[in-house]
Amino acid sequence: MQKLQSLDYIVFFFYFIIVSAYGYWIYKKKQSANISTTDFFLAEGSLTWWAIGSSLIASNISAEQFIGASGDGFAMGLAIATYEWMAAATLIVVAVFFMPIYLKNRIFTMPQFLTQRYNNTVSMIMAIFWLFLYVLVNLTSILFLGALAVSTISGLNFTVCMLGLAVFAVIITLGGMKVIGFTDVIQVFFLIMGGLATTYLAINLVASENGMEGVASGFNQMLTQSADHFKMIFPKGHPHYASLPGLTVLIGGMWIVNLNYWGCNQYITQRALGADLKTAREGILFAAFLKLLMPIIVVLPGIAAYTLYQKGLFHQEMLDATGEVNKDHAYPVLLNLLPAGLKGLSFAALTAAVVASLAGKANSISTIFTLDIYKKYISTDASEKQMVRVGRITIWVSMVMAILISPFMGIDKKGGFQFIQEMTGLVSPGVFAAFIMGFFWKKTNSQGALFAIVGGFLLSLFFKYLLPDLVNLEFLAPLGFAVQNPDGIYTIPFLDTMGFVFLICIAVMFVLGLQKPSTKGLEIDSTMFKVAPSFAIGAGVVLLAVVILYAVFW
């Protein structure tokens, strides 16, 4: 495979110097003032709508999208874009309903919401859950997959790549949320430009392999030759039904995945919590528009690789060490087809995605530990300066832990995208139930929230690991709620499991709330949910686009 050339390294170092220099400049500028915790963790009042929107996308798009989603594009096609397009619709819901509740009630961290709405016990348990999830699942998988991709493309040693990505991310993170927010604008520019370059050349290659020219001709060939890869909804019996079970992506578990991720996740909401409501909403709307474009960058290359593979190209390159086709090779294989310079740009895009996600995740770990554990339980009289210092130490510690743990998590065996979705899915239903009931039903009490968070996690483990061995779930197959695994055992698709666990949590919370109604409801009134006319128009365009995309590629 062709490795990076001199021009590629020049392009890459140009990106590296711009991001580092800009981040350092903002850091020094901010250091001259007396930095506070709200500045360090939230960049209060200083992020613009375009910085918020860019930062949301830069933090979200990482190696698991570039490598994992492209790999799933190769294996199952456009259907995997549901994670992106349904997220665009979800972001509108978050902007309209979730953000005004957080901002009106001065909520800056997710555990703080749980303390304010329920009690310290619920908050403490959830803070520990999140720290484990962020370090053991998210930080490790982003770092591992990122290093694997960078190593494959550059030819550099895997451990060197992992250390390099970690140090680069820490440099950005130590400057606080403002540095992350504004450097993410540059990261997104490289991410989109490099991603579009890869897609353009991949589709162009499809055209040239069929004796044609131009992206339009290449895309038409993909539609013809890989028609089975342009279906958004899988019917029962489809080989990939277990991953994306039919209408569940429109009316079931996919909403729980997205609403929990975009609306109840410190890592994401942190970007908008330091702004006023108008700016936060505009930033989230901008992110929704960018989400609509993401499948062009992270899914279409995989489908192009599949089309070329069908034509007999790079059969050898798609094989792993055991001689099996590895879908996650699709994106690195395409990058190695790029000409010098453009490969450097795409390499920078991939690195930007990884570093931005690492920085955002590390900052969130730092925020939760410092504000919700250290300040509340370890040093209640800690000064602003002390808390910022603890926040920075936490960033270093979490990154070192991720480096040490990631090789032992089996991320390379499961596939990064699936690994993150399934592990996060064990916690998501209960957490989302605790948030949504806490928002909109005043009687919801702390016992119900505790059941949702702890009981929901245990229920998820039960559905995943115990239920299939205890009960023959074949009776659910005609309804589409069970599929056979390679061992012939019927299991419930994980998106449907999330839906079932969520409904059980809601039912139990409702019963417990009726028995002992809470008196700790949040400050909410209907005027909070009114939106500006410009936002309403933008939101309408996003939702209409999602409807059209599903109608065209149903």
What is the DSSP-derived secondary structure letter of residue 527? G
Question: Which top CATH class is 6-24+37-310+345-407?
Answer: mainly alpha
Instruction: With a cut of 90, say whether residue 2 has pLDDT above it.
Output: no
| Residue 540: CA count within 13 A, CB half-sphere | 7
Q: Each residue of 157-216: pLDDT tens digit?
A: 888 888 888 888 877 666 655 566 666 677 677 777 777 888 888 899 888 888 888 888
8 Å CB contact between 69 and 83: yes
Got the DSSP string for 345-369? HHHHHHHHHHHHHHHHHHHHHHHHH
Sorted by sequence, the CB contacts under 8 Å of residue 369 that are 6+ apart come out as: 127, 131, 390, 391, 394
Q: Are strands 490-491 and 483-484 parallel, antiparallel or unpaired?
A: antiparallel
Alpha-carbon gap, residue 154 to 162, rounded angstroms: 13
Separation of alpha carbons 75 and 84, rounded Å: 17
pTM value is: 0.82
Predicted pLDDT at 1:
47
pLDDT for 410? 65
Q: Which of 234-248, 404-418, 431-445, 489-503 has the lowest mean pLDDT?
A: 404-418
Which residue is it, tokens 């009114």?
Answer: 530
Token code pair at residue 461: 């483990």
Please count the other Cβ atoms lying within 10 Å of the Cβ belonging to residue 489. Answer: 14
Provide the residue ranges of all domains of the chain, joining segments of one domain with +. Answer: 6-24+37-310+345-407, 426-523
Q: What is the mean pLDDT of the chain?
A: 82
Q: At what angle do helices 140-154 and 342-369 cross, to 10 degrees?
A: 160
Nearest partner of 134 among 370, 402, 431, 374, judged by Cα: 402
Euclidean distance between the first and final Cα of the chain, in Å?
Answer: 37
pLDDT digits (tens, 9 = 90+) for 271-288: 677 678 888 899 999 999
C-beta atoms surrounding 533 within 10 Å: 7
Judged by DSSP in three states, 92 sits in helix
Listed residue (124, 443, 58, 76) closest to 270, CA to CA: 58
DSSP 325: B
Higher pLDDT, 235 or 330: 235
